[in-house]
Structure 1
């Protein structure tokens, strides 16, 4: 790295214009966002004032966490930060308690008010449950990923497969291969049905937006039922055709192809593959 810096200096390499500058060290924090550390000679009265100021800011933060438009990750991080800050305020308050100037007079009154405010603030802090917020985030991601990344793409692909008619079987072995494909398709439908059930369960655990989630699920549920109906019909049809085909083959060997098995087979074939 230092060799490269030497080359840049020696060759007097420069960017043609400021627009070509890389986005490195181009941002600096605002001056108004900088919070200076407390002075080393801070008095107990100033410490209690700082505690009261932190409590006022913290209450606004709590309301924003509980009722604001924040995602689960922000709630978890901000809740943990407030809990850690509350522990720091307790340590500062203990320093004030040990100060002789707070044992009587105006200092004692401020200490009582500060203690009451700190107790109330701690009760407010206890309403923040990072584990609950993390669980809400988990349920939200399970629903979103299950619906948008797994279920909907599967339904999109299976709608195309279910809308494509089966090939007309040209032999008994061909019909048996088609029946195996239909069974595989039905197994895929059963797995998707389990996924749909999991998505429905995760929607029930959502902290907000359950009605909207149910509407989205209902749309996909209707599409899924059509696919499931096609899968069930295909399995039943192919198995019925195989039975009729087997009966016709047996009749051909036993009684020189009796009229009834042949007629039943031809009817089934015509019904199942008339539009194929």
Structure 2
């Protein structure tokens, strides 16, 4: 497998606060890479640099051979990068189906006029998108039965799976998940992990994730990068990271 994403020397600061310091890491294609670390380690800041919400002060990022840091954030979505967020960011007044469709806006071809009156190409695109969501997204995530229900009032676990659905409708090559297991009971965590694996098998998705649930992370990941105070303190497979002394100290404190 080749590297789909390569980061070299990523540095990010806000005034006197150094969020990231010389961070280098790689994400292998068709694998799961986890970024872990204590609170405030810089994990979400790194995600924000990759997705274009923050501009790095220094460093390079290559995605599928392209200069990622020189690419506008909206163009990164069209390149196949999708993400979820730590806090649920759904439109509560819209249905499950409508929320998922919003994730596909970057791929729609119809112009503004035809879309506004829902004629011609816009109607065809809408029908094709609905069929694809029904077949490829709702069934694997167990959301088919609530397809037309408003999001407001749905259980937390279903809303987390809905966020994953909205990212997956873009058919991403790189799926970035910010705390996908947060706040979930064990059965929901297992269901979420199974859905991620299913999308990787059927859609060729590469996954980059952040989470504090070590059991879920270690059970799903092929490669783990550990941040502490904005710096990489360890990187490798699960077994190596588990026994790395700097990782043990960062999480448990020195003996």
TM-score band, normalised by the shorter chain? Answer: under 0.3
Of Structure 1 and Structure 2, which has the larger fraction of its residues in helix?
A: 1
TM normalised by structure 2 equals 0.21
TM-score normalised to structure 1 length: 0.19
The higher radius of gyration belongs to 1
Higher RCO (C-alpha under 8 Å, 6+ residues apart): 2
